[in-house]
């Protein structure tokens, strides 16, 4: 296990504006809402908040602007233990913003302004950042464009030189736009969290099993293939585990994938079994989908433990032993 060490979390930092709409309006029509919610957001920040709530030390590596949005983020994050010493500020653009339309089925449609995120300066990323690091985790969106993508490659190099595990949650749009960048770092990855479509774009894979196998063959230590409502498939050399999703009433899927990633990273860092790590990730993803928004709306440890104890576990897993492993760990 990696006690008393921090996870360096590299990726986009945004302010989410969440609009629950009855339906996506036709072009030229109005979409009226009864309320709007503003949250700290961005894939990496959502995972960071969850890990912090599970008592994992984190260092947030990203870039914001010099504006009221950045001030809001700093005020909100001051209530956490997240280390903000590596958070950069740029005058080149405003802080990243997401406008998220959520329909009654919980599905989200996102309009994103990446803003200052892409101006992450690689020259400010030094070896000292990784001196006490347990892991480097990257959001695939950080590979969308330079100079942020250059900062990713620099961070991966420093982590690899120090034998620090590197993980990534790919995302489809980043993979489609920067296949070369993802292929370059694949051999350095201890964990790759992705989907069949993303892996197909990179390595030509037609099924979850083939996608996982292709990632392992490319040098990845642990391949995690997200399958939405069907759960996930986890594979490492000599072991394959299928983790069904929990059945819950979905409110908003914003942040569900980020919560899944946080659970998988937590399981790895704490030395949990592959099955327990996968079902922990599924539980956190389910809880995120039951919440209105992401950020500080994501579950805390107490909510997670209650869910693990009381929820109807899906068929197809050794629920008794996996549940016991997780509840014993969190007791």
Q: Determine the Cα–Cα distance for residues 11 and 28; give it in Å rounded to an integer.
A: 34
User: pTM for the whole thing?
Assistant: 0.93
Q: Considering only CA atoms, which of 81, 86, 187 is closest in space to residue 127?
A: 86
| 318 CB-side CA count, 13 A | 10
Q: Residue 18: beta bridge partners?
A: 37, 100
256-270 vs 43-53: helix axis angle to the nearest 10? 50
pLDDT tops 70 at residue 245: yes
Q: Considering only CA atoms, which of 119, 226, 207, 240 is closest in space to residue 169?
A: 226
Do 169 and 197 contact (CB within 8 A), yes or no? no
8-39 pLDDT tens trace: 999 999 998 888 888 888 888 888 888 888 88
pLDDT tops 90 at residue 196: yes
Q: Determine the Cα–Cα distance for residues 30 and 206; give it in Å rounded to an integer.
A: 40
Q: Determine the Cα–Cα distance for residues 251 and 37; give it in Å rounded to an integer.
A: 14
pLDDT recorded at residue 2: 53
Mean pLDDT of the region 150-154:
97
pLDDT recorded at residue 165: 97
Torsion of CA 225, 228, 231, 232, to 10 degrees: 0
Torsion of CA 3, 243, 10, 15, to 10 degrees: -120
Mean pLDDT of the region 144-157:
97
In this prediction, residue 312 has a pLDDT band, given cuts at 50, 70 and 90, of very high
For residue 88, give the H/E element and its range. Answer: strand 88-89
Mean pLDDT of the region 99-110:
84
Do 122 and 143 contact (CB within 8 A), yes or no? no
- Across the chain, mean pLDDT equals 93
Mean pLDDT of the region 230-259:
92
What are the residues whose beta carbons fall under 8 Å from the beta carbon of 209, sequence distance 6 or more?
A: 233, 235, 240
In this prediction, residue 314 has a pLDDT band, given cuts at 50, 70 and 90, of very high
Least-confidence region, from 21-30, 176-185, 216-225: 21-30
pLDDT tops 80 at residue 3: no
Give the residue, 109 or 233, on which the prediction is more confident: 233
Do 118 and 54 contact (CB within 8 A), yes or no? no
Identify the residue whose tokens are 């990713």. Answer: 152
Q: How many CB atoms lie within 10 A of CB 19?
A: 17
pLDDT recorded at residue 231: 93
pLDDT tops 80 at residue 255: yes
Mean pLDDT of the region 259-268:
97
Q: Determine the Cα–Cα distance for residues 108 and 302; give it in Å rounded to an integer.
A: 27
265-296 pLDDT tens trace: 999 999 999 999 999 999 999 999 998 777 88
pLDDT tops 80 at residue 210: yes
User: What letter does residue 25 receive in the DSSP assignment?
Assistant: P
pLDDT tops 70 at residue 4: no
Q: Determine the Cα–Cα distance for residues 14 and 110; give it in Å rounded to an integer.
A: 12
pLDDT recorded at residue 238: 92
In this prediction, residue 123 has a pLDDT band, given cuts at 50, 70 and 90, of very high
What are the residues whose beta carbons fall under 8 Å from the beta carbon of 261, sequence distance 6 or more?
A: 43, 47, 137, 169, 193, 281
Mean pLDDT of the region 103-108:
82
Q: Determine the Cα–Cα distance for residues 146 and 168; give it in Å rounded to an integer.
A: 18
């Amino acid at each position: 296990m990696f006690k008393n060490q921090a996870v360096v979390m590299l990726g986009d930092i945004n302010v989410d504006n969440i609009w629950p709409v009855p339906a996506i309006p036709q072009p030229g029509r109005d979409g009226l809402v009864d309320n709007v919610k503003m949250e700290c957001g961005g894939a990496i920040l959502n995972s960071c908040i969850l890990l912090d709530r599970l008592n994992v030390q984190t260092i947030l590596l990203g870039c914001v602007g010099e504006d009221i949005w950045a001030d809001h983020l700093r005020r909100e994050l001051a209530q956490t233990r997240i280390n903000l010493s590596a958070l950069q500020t740029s005058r080149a653009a405003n802080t990243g913003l997401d406008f998220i339309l959520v329909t009654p089925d919980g599905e989200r449609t996102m309009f994103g302004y990446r803003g200052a995120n892409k101006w992450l300066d690689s020259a400010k990323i030094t070896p000292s950042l990784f001196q006490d690091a347990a892991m480097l985790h990257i959001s695939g969106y950080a590979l969308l464009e330079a100079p942020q993508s250059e900062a990713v490659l620099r961070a991966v190099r420093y982590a690899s030189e120090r034998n620090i595990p590197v993980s990534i949650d790919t995302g489809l749009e980043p993979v489609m736009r920067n296949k070369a960048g993802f292929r370059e770092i694949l051999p350095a990855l201890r964990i790759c969290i992705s989907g069949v479509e993303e892996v197909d774009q990179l390595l030509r894979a037609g099924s979850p099993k083939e996608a996982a196998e292709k990632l392992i063959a490319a040098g990845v230590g642990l391949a995690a293939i997200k399958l939405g409502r069907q759960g996930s498939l986890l594979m490492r050399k000599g072991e394959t585990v299928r983790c069904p999703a929990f059945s819950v009433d979905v409110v908003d899927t914003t942040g569900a994938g980020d919560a899944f990633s946080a659970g998988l990273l937590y399981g790895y860092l704490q030395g949990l079994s592959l099955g327990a790590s996968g079902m922990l990730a599924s539980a956190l993803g389910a809880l995120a989908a039951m919440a209105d928004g992401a950020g500080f709306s994501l579950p805390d440890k107490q909510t997670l433990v209650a869910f693990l104890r009381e929820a109807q576990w899906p068929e197809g897993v050794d629920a008794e032993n996996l549940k016991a492993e997780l509840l014993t760990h969190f007791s």
